[in-house]
Structure 1
Amino acid sequence: MTTDTLHQDVQNFREALDACHGDLDPTVFVHFPRGCCGTVSELLAAFLKEQGHGSWPYVCGTRCEEDGRRVTHAWLERDGYIIDITRDQFDRQQPELVTADRSWHDERFPDQEQQEDFGELRSELCDAYARIKKEIEGGSNAT
């Protein structure tokens, strides 16, 4: 695995989601990228493993707002790299999807818990995964 290949695979996955999220479960993806970072991280981890990039553990970050609300966010992290393809739900600016700079995550989500590899993709995500892969392989007209 090279970082160039990793960057390209992550970029392809995000572009596919941008193109097809309207075809996916509306209870999860209706406001993509908002509110679906955990599910997207799980789907992306499965894709990266399939592409030969190995396992990418899931990190859930939390912060408490002044009004007592808990705000959470999820991303993948390993070997000093963060992969976060839904960060733009917070500031609408598309950041680097793969980065070694943890400052944004550490500042906004100071309480972080890393979990191990997801293992097998949950069955309820298999249709979404297949649709995203179809988009990567050639768009909605791919057979």
Structure 2
Amino acid sequence: MVSKLSDFAIQFRAVLDTHSSSIGLPHFYNFPRNCCEGVSVYFAFYTMQMFPSVNVEVVHSRNSDDEHHYWVEIDGLIFDLTADQFDECNAPIIAQASSPLENVFPICERSFASIAMCAYDAIDDEQKELVYKSIRIILNI
């Protein structure tokens, strides 16, 4: 299962690398910088739908400078598709037990994927649906 999850994460990240400017999420013109919440929410939501037997959570963290970061944990493994926006990482983190960012960004909240999607307020519900559909088309799922 980890192999399938990793393959999906790599595919999802590749879609973002190629189509970030046309997806319609805030800050995606500067991908992966400042895109962690949107990426994590949508990646978690798609993962939950495609792999219903796994536990998918969106993790929200905050450092001492009040900077926020988000990533996804799937059955306890870290999937941080925007980790490479930070100097500590030179690539996304996919299916790892730990992250070099854990000490920089202590966890302050965990949410199930569906709850994180409902709570995501950077865009309205109509735009959420449009983004969902456009990513789904690009992923061909």
Q: TM-score, normalised by structure 2?
A: 0.80
* Coordinate RMSD, CA, aligned: 2.3
**Contact 1:20-1:131 at 8 Å conserved across structures:** no
Deviation at 1:95, TM superposition (A): 3.6
Considering only CA atoms, is the larger Rg found in Structure 1 or Structure 2?
1
**Contact 2:45-2:113 at 8 Å conserved across structures:** no
Counterpart residue number, 1:10: 9
**Contact 2:78-2:93 at 8 Å conserved across structures:** no
**Contact 2:26-2:35 at 8 Å conserved across structures:** no
What one-letter code is carried by the residue in structure 2 that aligns with 1:52? F
What one-letter code is carried by the residue in structure 1 that aligns with 2:59? V
Taking a change above 3 Å as real, the CA distance of residues 105 and 52 of structure 1, as seen in their structure-2 partners, is: same
The partner residue of 1:73 within 57, 69, 72 is 69
Consecutive unaligned residues in structure 1, runs of 5 or more: 139-143
**Contact 2:36-2:69 at 8 Å conserved across structures:** yes
Matches of 2:116 and 2:59, distance apart in 1: 17
What one-letter code is carried by the residue in structure 1 that aligns with 2:93? E
Structure number with higher relative contact order (C-alpha < 8 Å, ≥ 6 residues apart): 1
Deviation at 1:25, TM superposition (A): 2.0
Percent identity of equivalent pairs: 26
Taking a change above 3 Å as real, the CA distance of residues 105 and 9 of structure 1, as seen in their structure-2 partners, is: same
**Contact 2:61-2:108 at 8 Å conserved across structures:** yes
Taking a change above 3 Å as real, the CA distance of residues 95 and 20 of structure 1, as seen in their structure-2 partners, is: closer
1:1-143 mapped onto 2 (5 Å cutoff):
2-25=1-24, 27-53=26-52, 54-65=54-65, 70-91=66-87, 93-102=90-99, 104-119=100-115, 121=117, 123=125, 124-137=127-140
Matches of 1:80 and 1:47, distance apart in 2: 17
Deviation at 1:55, TM superposition (A): 4.5
Counterpart residue number, 1:141: none
* CA displacement, residues 103-122 of structure 1 (integer Å, 9 cap, x when unaligned): x1321112432123324845
Consecutive unaligned residues in structure 2, runs of 5 or more: 119-124
**Contact 2:78-2:96 at 8 Å conserved across structures:** yes
